[in-house]
Amino acid sequence: MLQLINLIKLRQQQLCEHQPYDPKIDKERINQENQLLQILYRFQRVHIDEKQEKL
């Protein structure tokens, strides 16, 4: 899960550095990636909480 989060962040950073910014395309892509990141963070937090409860 953490690898997936890091991959998305790395990709965002690389795109930012190597491509000209296109507001129409990039805004939608960034929104989608940020939504995915939020879901992954939430899932990871819930997963960690569940592990702690079992201990």
Dihedral angle sign, alpha carbons of residues 36, 41, 46, 50: positive
- Supply the range of the domain harboring residue 34: 2-54
pLDDT digits (tens, 9 = 90+) for 1-55: 778 888 888 887 887 777 777 777 778 888 888 898 898 888 888 777 777 777 6
pLDDT at res. 55:
67
Overall domain count for the chain: 1
C-alpha to C-alpha distances, 37 to 20, 34, 52, nearest whole angstrom: 23, 5, 23
pLDDT at res. 29:
83
pLDDT at res. 50:
75
Burial 24-51 (b: 16+ CB within 10 A, else e): eeeeeeeeeeeeeeeeeeeeeeeeeeee
